[in-house]
Structure 1
Amino acid sequence: MATKKGVLGNGTEVWILHGAVPTLTKMNCITELALGDDSQAEVDNTCLEETEVRTNDYGLSTPGEGSFKINTDPKNATHITLLDLADKKELVGIYVGWSDGTTAPTVATGAVDLPEDRTWSWCTAILRKNSVVIGLDALNNHTVPFKRQSKVTDEFKVQP
């Protein structure tokens, strides 16, 4: 019997932390999410007497850019919330619950509590709004880009 390897994307859930009074909104029907890759500054530490190869160390990380994709549905209140936050270029917390669990996060006094029975990836980001994409035989959709303001933190599920 083959053993299951990895975690499927199907069943992944996404929450956005937003607002002056922190509100945690579960996003409904995100069709794609990319958290983006960071880049590393390189600090040259080559000595003048070196004649063949430059050497360097890594400096600070620059957080990457990512995006949400939605098949935009005006009846889906979470789509409208996401587009409104993006239009205002809001700073939000993005909390991604992997499909290896089902427990939802909670928020109290502005802090998000992530249950240990599923894997989480989270970061902060500034959202930006793009125009709708309309095509033949396709659902109207938005790709909502964001610029992360932190690294992506992964908290892996506690194994029994």
Structure 2
Amino acid sequence: MAKVEKGVLSQGTQVWIKHGDTPELTKMICITGITLGDDSVNDIDDTCLEEEDTTTSVPGLTTPGEGSISINTDPKNETHMTLLQLADERATIEVFIGWSDGKEPPVLETGSVTLPPTRTWTSFVTQLKDTNPTFEPNSLVKHSVPMKRQSKAITAYKTNP
């Protein structure tokens, strides 16, 4: 009997960030988690004055969610220090999450990123916010860098085996 695939594992996921005035694409090393946050759709009230029981509305603009990027902070890891510096500057960056269903990295050419179709990608623009480390017993020092997405999180599913 053939093995049934039940989904895509988180292990093997890779993360890149595009940042800087002269765009630079940095592969993040040892991200421990990413939470994208849920988007919410604003309601525009269109209730008529004659209505006596219930308000009505039409969908308005989407407000992107707030999430975080988590690391077990390592001062020797340049990508951790880059992330924390960008958070301190409240920088706006682009994030490219390569799912574990492929291995190909993104390519940065003339300021634009191309995502290979040989793996699934989730990408978005976000503004980072400053944060403090967390110290807990019997644990590594951690940072959970808050982010406020400035765009929808777009997922492009793998199309080539």
Deviation at 1:71, TM superposition (A): 0.2
Counterpart CA distance in 1 for 2:160 and 2:16 is 23
| Structure 2 counterpart of 1:83, one-letter code | L
Counterpart CA distance in 2 for 1:54 and 1:111 is 45
Corresponding residue for residue 15 of structure 1: 16
**Is 1:35 paired with 2:36?**
yes
| Structure 1 counterpart of 2:145, one-letter code | V
Corresponding residue for residue 108 of structure 2: 107
| Structure 2 counterpart of 1:21, one-letter code | T
Q: Is the CA contact 2:16–2:26 (under 8 Å) kept in the aligned structure 1? A: yes
Paired residue secondary structure (1:3): coil
**Is 1:91 paired with 2:69?**
no
Q: Is the CA contact 2:117–2:160 (under 8 Å) kept in the aligned structure 1? A: no
Paired residue secondary structure (2:17): strand
| Structure 2 counterpart of 1:13, one-letter code | Q
Deviation at 1:159, TM superposition (A): 4.7
Corresponding residue for residue 117 of structure 2: 116
Counterpart CA distance in 1 for 2:157 and 2:102 is 11
Corresponding residue for residue 138 of structure 1: 139
Paired residue secondary structure (2:132): coil
Counterpart CA distance in 2 for 1:63 and 1:125 is 9
| Structure 1 counterpart of 2:17, one-letter code | I
| Structure 1 counterpart of 2:102, one-letter code | G
Paired residue secondary structure (1:136): coil
What 5-or-longer segments of structure 2 have no aligned partner? none
| Structure 1 counterpart of 2:52, one-letter code | T
Counterpart CA distance in 1 for 2:47 and 2:20 is 47
| Structure 2 counterpart of 1:128, one-letter code | K
Counterpart CA distance in 2 for 1:113 and 1:159 is 15
Deviation at 1:5, TM superposition (A): 1.7
Deviation at 1:51, TM superposition (A): 2.4
Corresponding residue for residue 82 of structure 2: 81
Paired residue secondary structure (2:34): strand
Counterpart CA distance in 2 for 1:159 and 1:122 is 18
What is the Cα-based RMSD across aligned positions, in Å? 1.1
Percent identical residues: 51
**Is 1:148 paired with 2:149?**
yes
Deviation at 1:52, TM superposition (A): 2.5
| Runs of 4+ more than 4 Å apart | none
Deviation at 1:50, TM superposition (A): 2.0
Paired residue secondary structure (1:49): coil
Counterpart CA distance in 2 for 1:40 and 1:20 is 32
Corresponding residue for residue 6 of structure 1: 7
What 5-or-longer segments of structure 1 have no aligned partner? none
**TM-score with structure 1 setting the length:** 0.96
